C-alpha cells in the first residue's frame, strides 16, 4: 500500500471515529471502533475461507440460505472446517456486510410501513454467537468474552434505542465501504489500520495511554535489539503486553517467531491484545495471552523465552509481600523492590523467564539507574553476581503518551559476549519534535541499534564501561557518569565587547546632541 493510500485510509477511519467523538472519551469510543473493525475482519476472513471450500461446487457462502435444507447442510459442513481452521464461525446472515446493509436499508419495510433496519439485537446476538462457536475447541480461551466491552445498550450511544441504532448503523455502513484488501497477502492493510487507530486513541487518552500502548518507534527499537543477533525466535514474551503491539513488532522484525506469549492485568486491554493478534493474522494456536497480574500471579512461570520485551507501567505499586522472599524470581537477590516502585521487580521476573541464550529489552524510568536502598542492592546483584546487564540506553524525554519524563532501555543477556563491560548509549538528544511530542525517527533508531551491535565508543553518544569502572561508581548507572555530553560554551572576547560598548556609548552621545538641537529649535526642553 502506498503512502497516499495509507493516508486516505487513515482519514476514512478517523472520519468514522468522529461519529463517536464528543459522545464519550477516547478510551470508550476506541472500544466501539476497534470492536466493529474486528467484527468486519472476522466476517471477511470467514467468507474468504468458506468461498475457497465451496469453490468446486460453484457456490458462494454469502448466498446460502439457513432456512433451506440443502443450504443448512452445506453451512454445517463449512462450519466444521472453519472452526478447525480459523477457530470460530459466522453464518451467512451474521456476516458484517449483511448487518451493515440491513441497518441502512430504509426500503426494507413491513406491511405497516415500519422499518426493519433495527440491528442492535441482531448484532448483540451475533457477537455472542462468535464466542459460543468456539466452545469446546482449542480456540475457546482466545475468543472468550472478547466483545464484552462492546456495550450496545450504553446510553452513550444515544438517548433512545432508535438513536443508538442509527449511530451504530451509520458506523457499520462507513466501515462496509472500506476495502481492507484481505486478498493481498503482501499488505497488512487492516493490521496497519488497527495499529494506527490504537496509536491515535493513545495520543488522545492522556495518562491512561501508558496502560495499553507503547509508541511505535520505541517498539521498533526494542524489537530490533532483541532480534539483532537471533532473528529466528521460537518464543517471544511480554509480561505487561497491553494491546500486544510490542509483541507484534517483534514478530515483524524477526525472520520467524513460532509462538507469542503475553500477560495483561487490565481486562479491556487484554481483549484488545487478543483482537490485535487475530487481526494481524496470528493463528489462535500461535499466541497465548493471559489475564492476570504478572508479579502477583505469573501465568507462564515454567517457560523460558528466546526474547522478552516490555514497557511496564513506570514506578507502579505492588504488594512486595515478604512471601515473595521464597519465590524463585526474587529470593536469590535477598531483597525485594520497594512496594512504591515495582520497576526492578518486573526486571527480576523477566530475567527468571529469559532463556540462557535469550535477549531481553525493557523500558524503564531513569530512577532505576541510580536509586539506592533495595533497588541499589538489586542493581548491584544484577551486575556483579549475575552479570546479565548488557547495555543501558538513554532515550529522549517526552516520547511516551501521558508522561514527559526521560526513559531508558536496559538490555539483558544471561550469556554475554562482552562479560567484562557494559555499553552506555546516550540518545537523549536524538529525536524530532512533532507538535508537543518528541519522536524517534528510523535514522535515530538505526544509529542506536548499530552502535549496540558494534559496541564502540563514540564521542558524546556511547561509551563501553568496564565492570571495574561501574564498581568504582558504586554501581550507579546514571548515563552522564559514563557518556560525556558536556558542550563547552563559546568563548567570549571581553575586549571586543568593551569596544562595542564604547562605540554604542559614543553613538548615543551623538544622537542625544541631535535631539537636543531639535528641541532647541522648537523651544522645548530636551527629554534628558
Q: How confident is the model over 97-156, as pLDDT tens digits? A: 999 999 887 444 444 444 468 899 999 999 999 999 999 899 999 999 999 988 999 888
Domain borders along the chain are: 3-203, 205-480, 494-528
User: What is the SS3 assignment for 252-303?
Assistant: HHCCEEEEEEEEECCHHHHHHHHHHHHHCCCCHHHEEEEECCCCCCCCCCCC
13 — pLDDT class (breaks 50, 70, 90): confident
Q: How confident is the model over 477-502, as pLDDT tens digits? A: 999 999 987 665 677 788 888 888 88
Tell me if the domain spanning 3-203 has CATH number 1.20.1260.30.
yes
Give the span between the Cα atoms of 285 and 208, in whole angstroms.
30
| Least confident interval from 20-29, 152-161, 173-182, 186-195 | 186-195
pLDDT of amino acid 294? 97
Q: What is the mean pLDDT of the chain?
A: 88
**Is the model's pLDDT at 316 over the cut of 60?**
yes
**Is the model's pLDDT at 253 over the cut of 90?**
yes
Q: How confident is the model over 383-440, as pLDDT tens digits? A: 999 999 999 999 999 888 767 788 999 999 999 999 999 999 999 998 888 877 888 9
Residue 515, C-alpha cell as written in the block? 535631539
Contact 211, 266 (CB under 8 A): yes
pLDDT of amino acid 395? 95
The residue that leads in pLDDT, 516 or 208, is 516
Q: The dihedral of CA 303, 254, 194, 125: what is its sign?
A: negative
pLDDT of amino acid 113? 41
Assign 178 to helix, strand or coil.
Answer: coil
Tell me if the domain spanning 205-480 has CATH number 3.40.50.1370.
no
Strand 421-426 and strand 432-434: the pairing is unpaired
The residue that leads in pLDDT, 278 or 400, is 278
Give the span between the Cα atoms of 175 and 162, in whole angstroms.
20
Q: The dihedral of CA 134, 140, 145, 146: what is its sign?
A: negative
**Is the model's pLDDT at 211 over the cut of 60?**
no
| Least confident interval from 93-107, 187-201, 442-456 | 187-201
Q: Please tell me the pTM assigned to this model.
A: 0.84
| Kind plus residue range of the DSSP H or E element containing 485 | none
Distance from chain centroid for Cα 457: 31
Amino acid at each position: 500500500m502506498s503512502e497516499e493510500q495509507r493516508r486516505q485510509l487513515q482519514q476514512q477511519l478517523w472520519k468514522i471515529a468522529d461519529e463517536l467523538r464528543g459522545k464519550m472519551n477516547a478510551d470508550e469510543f476506541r472500544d466501539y471502533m476497534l470492536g466493529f473493525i474486528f467484527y468486519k475482519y472476522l466476517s471477511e476472513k470467514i467468507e474468504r475461507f468458506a468461498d475457497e471450500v465451496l469453490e468446486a461446487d460453484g457456490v458462494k457462502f454469502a448466498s446460502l440460505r439457513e432456512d433451506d435444507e440443502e443450504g443448512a447442510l452445506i453451512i454445517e459442513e463449512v462450519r466444521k472446517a472453519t472452526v478447525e481452521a480459523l477457530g470460530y464461525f459466522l453464518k451467512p446472515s451474521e456476516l458484517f456486510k449483511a448487518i451493515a446493509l440491513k441497518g441502512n436499508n430504509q426500503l426494507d419495510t413491513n406491511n405497516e410501513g415500519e422499518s426493519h433496519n433495527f440491528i442492535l439485537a441482531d448484532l448483540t446476538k451475533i457477537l455472542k454467537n462468535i464466542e459460543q462457536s468456539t466452545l469446546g475447541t482449542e480456540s475457546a480461551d482466545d475468543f472468550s468474552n472478547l466483545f464484552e466491552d462492546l456495550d450496545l445498550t450504553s446510553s452513550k450511544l444515544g438517548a433512545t434505542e432508535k438513536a443508538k441504532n442509527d449511530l451504530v448503523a451509520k458506523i457499520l455502513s462507513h466501515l462496509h465501504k472500506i476495502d481492507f484488501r484481505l486478498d493481498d497477502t503482501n499488505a497488512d492493510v487492516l493490521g496497519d489500520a488497527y495499529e494506527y487507530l490504537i496509536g491515535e486513541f493513545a495520543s488522545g487518552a492522556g495518562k491512561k495511554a501508558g496502560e495499553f500502548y507503547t509508541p511505535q518507534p520505541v517498539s521498533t527499537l526494542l524489537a530490533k535489539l532483541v532480534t539483532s543477533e537471533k532473528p529466528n525466535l521460537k518464543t517471544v514474551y511480554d509480561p505487561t503486553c497491553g494491546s500486544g503491539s510490542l509483541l507484534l513488532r517483534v514478530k515483524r522484525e524477526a525472520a520467524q517467531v513460532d509462538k507469542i506469549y503475553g500477560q495483561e492485568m487490565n481486562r479491556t486491554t487484554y481483549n484488545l491484545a487478543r483482537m490485535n493478534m487475530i487481526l494481524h493474522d496470528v493463528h489462535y494456536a500461535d499466541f497465548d495471552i493471559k489475564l492476570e497480574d504478572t508479579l502477583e500471579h505469573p501465568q507462564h512461570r515454567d517457560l523460558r523465552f528466546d526474547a522478552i520485551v516490555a514497557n511496564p507501567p513506570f514506578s507502579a505499586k505492588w504488594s512486595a509481600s515478604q512471601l515473595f522472599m521464597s519465590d524463585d524470581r526474587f529470593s536469590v537477590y535477598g531483597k525485594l523492590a520497594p512496594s512504591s516502585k515495582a520497576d526492578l521487580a518486573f526486571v527480576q521476573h523477566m530475567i527468571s523467564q529469559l532463556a540462557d541464550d535469550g535477549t531481553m529489552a525493557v523500558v524503564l524510568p531513569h530512577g532505576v539507574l541510580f536509586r539506592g536502598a533495595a533497588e541499589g542492592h538489586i542493581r548491584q546483584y544484577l551486575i556483579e553476581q549475575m552479570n546479565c546487564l548488557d547495555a543501558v540506553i538513554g532515550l529522549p524525554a517526552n516520547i511516551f503518551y501521558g508522561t514527559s519524563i526521560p526513559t531508558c532501555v536496559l538490555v539483558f543477556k544471561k550469556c554475554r559476549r562482552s562479560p567484562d563491560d557494559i555499553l552506555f548509549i546516550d540518545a537523549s538528544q536524538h529525536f524530532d519534535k512533532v507538535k508537543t511530542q518528541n519522536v524517534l525517527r528510523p535514522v535515530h533508531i538505526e544509529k542506536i541499534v548499530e552502535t549496540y551491535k558494534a559496541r564502540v565508543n563514540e564521542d558524546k553518544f556511547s561509551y563501553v564501561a568496564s565492570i571495574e569502572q561501574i564498581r568504582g561508581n558504586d554501581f550507579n548507572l546514571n548515563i552522564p557518569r559514563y557518556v560525556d555530553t558536556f558542550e563547552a560554551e563559546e568563548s567570549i572576547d571581553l575586549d571586543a565587547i568593551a569596544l562595542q560598548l564604547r562605540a554604542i556609548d559614543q553613538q548615543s552621545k551623538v544622537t542625544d546632541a541631535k535631539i537636543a538641537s531639535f528641541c532647541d529649535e522648537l523651544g522645548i526642553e530636551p527629554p534628558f
